[in-house]
Amino acid sequence: MVELALQIVWIAFCAVVGIQVVYYCAVVVRLFFHKSSELRDIEYPVSVVVAARNEEDNLQKLLPALLEQRGVEFEVIVADDCSLDDTYLVLRDFADKDSRIRYTQIHESANFSGGKKFALTMAIKAARYEHIVCIDADCIPSSKTWLQRMAQELHRRPIVIGYAPLNKTSGLLNKLIRFDVFQIGMQYLGLAKTGIPYMGVGRNMAYRSQIFFDQKGFSSHYDIKSGDDDLLVNAAATSKNTAVVFHPYAFVYSDAKYTWSQWIMQKSRHLTTAPRYRFSHLLTLGILSFSQYAVFGLFVVLLLANMRVQETLILMGFRYVVQQAVQIGNLTKTKELDLIPISLFLEPFYLMFYPALVVRNTIIRTNAWKR
């Protein structure tokens, strides 16, 4: 009976190793071989939309970077979301100097605080052009052709998702956060290229306004703070209407969180959107996540049971080599070479971090309900 159980464990181990190898070799590796479209001038104008709350310092960096974009006619619409600083004065000064800058002010009342989704809705409704490109106020495009590269894909497909890495600073936490963003990016971009687009990030994505209005904006998930990006894409994207932009000159950079508490709060907020994904996407992501945990659990069981130790080590080593080869290739393409050493041993950390985060969120929700 024990022998039969161990044989089942061995078969299951082989299966989850197979799932992991296929994931890296058939999904993630696509980004390494991704070929960008030949750059050309854009014949149609686009609207860049930004939601800004207390962003006077960041806007003084972002707006000049946007005004330097070339190869496409555009406007920039900033929704001033109830700012308490001098965001309005910064916007007014830029708008006075350049007609491409437009803004709308949102005033918070005693009974209403719309948040980022409301601000984005106001900006999109104010847009003159059908083609909408999204960026956050605390971001900076990696080149003067970022907007051109995003816009030209909108001519081909109505939804475009890009990559948004984080700025490099000193310290272990910065590397942990940047590598986490890298892994998430490789997953959603790789799956999109495989024909399963399930999310995008609002720091670097684009869509035609009709997509937004067909989904009735953010109405289906207006009750949660997050989701202005991934839930919109999850609801509207298909294998035929979604394009991927993955070029170093089309990246958008922003700062990582500086403290553990800030990062944990950010990750906790992001976890609230996942249950709203389509069932098929939840199933796909669930299988990938389960295989990642199962491969380590079954590996330990087989070693402790002294069951096919040599074959087990060979299979696990093969999976590790494939994983690292693909990750290092993509880290090279994203010019994040400093993350290569840490990528070699970070997987166990994330396997513990995410369950702890889920437990934390569950405890917080339970205590809130009791109160």
Shortest CA distance to 27 belongs to which of 157, 192, 184, 159? 192
Give the domain-ending residue among 225, 260, 295: 260
Quote the number of domains for the chain. Answer: 2
> What is the token pair recorded at 251?
């990246």
More confident call, 107 vs 161? 161
128 vs 357: CA distance, rounded Å: 42
Q: Which residue has the tokens 């050493």?
A: 341
In this predicted model, which residue has the larger pLDDT, 141 or 225?
141
CA 311 vs CA 15, 86, 122, 270, 300: distances in Å:
14, 64, 59, 39, 13
Average pLDDT over residues 209-222: 89
| 274 part of a folded domain | no
> What predicted TM-score, i.e. pTM, was given to this entire model?
0.91
**256 plus 305 within the same structural domain:** no
Task: Tell whether 190 and 100 lie within a shared domain.
Answer: yes
202 and 53 inside one domain: yes
Q: Tell me the H-state helices in the chain.
A: 2-23, 29-32, 56-67, 87-97, 115-126, 146-156, 172-194, 209-214, 230-236, 260-271, 279-304, 309-333, 340-343, 347-370
For position 224, which CATH number holds? 3.90.550.10
Q: What is the C-alpha to C-alpha distance for residues 206 and 49, in angstroms, rounded to an integer? A: 10
Please state, in angstroms and rounded to a whole number, the distance separating the CA atoms of residues 254 and 168: 9
Residue 244 belongs to what H/E stretch? strand 242-244
Task: Provide the domain limits for residue 239.
Answer: 36-260
Q: List Cβ neighbours of 232 (8 Å cut-off, separation of 6 or more).
A: 200, 207, 211, 212, 215, 218
Which has the minimum average pLDDT: 13-22, 172-181, 187-196, 337-346? 337-346
User: Could you tell me if 50 and 27 lie in one domain?
Assistant: no
The 10s digit of each residue's pLDDT in 222-231 is: 888 888 889 9
Using 50, 70 and 90 to split pLDDT, how confident is the model at 113? low
Q: Does the pLDDT value for residue 317 go beyond 80?
A: yes
The verdict on residue 288 lying in a domain is yes
* Average of per-residue pLDDT values in the chain: 90
- State residue 322's pLDDT score: 96
294 and 219 assigned to the same domain: no
Same domain, 141 and 204: yes
- Can you give the pLDDT at residue 371? 41
Shared-domain flag, residues 156 and 286? no
Asked whether residue 49 is domain-assigned, the answer is yes
Pick from 123, 109, 118, 116: which is nearest to 138 by CA?
Answer: 116
Asked whether residue 201 falls in the same domain as residue 294, the answer is no
**Please, what sign has the CA dihedral across residues 77, 79, 83, 89?**
positive
Residues 6+ away with beta carbon under 8 Å from 349:
176
Specify whether 43 is located in the same domain as 12: no
Residue 269: inside a domain = no
pLDDT at 327: 95
Which pLDDT value is given to residue 109?
65
Q: Are residues 229 and 163 in the same domain?
A: yes
In this structure, is residue 275 part of a structural domain? no
24, 51: one domain: no
What is the rounded distance in angstroms from the CA atom of residue 80 to the CA atom of residue 87? 7
How far apart CA 282 and CA 48 sit, in angstroms, is 31
Could you identify the residue written with the tokens 């205590």?
A: 367
Nearest to 160 by CA among 206, 192, 129, 124: 206
Does one domain contain both 117 and 186? Answer: yes
Among 108-112, 252-256, 261-265, 345-349, the range scoring the smallest mean pLDDT is 108-112
pLDDT given for residue 162 in this prediction: 96
Position 110 scores a pLDDT of 42
- Label the pairing between strands 205-208 and 242-244: unpaired
pLDDT at 248: 95
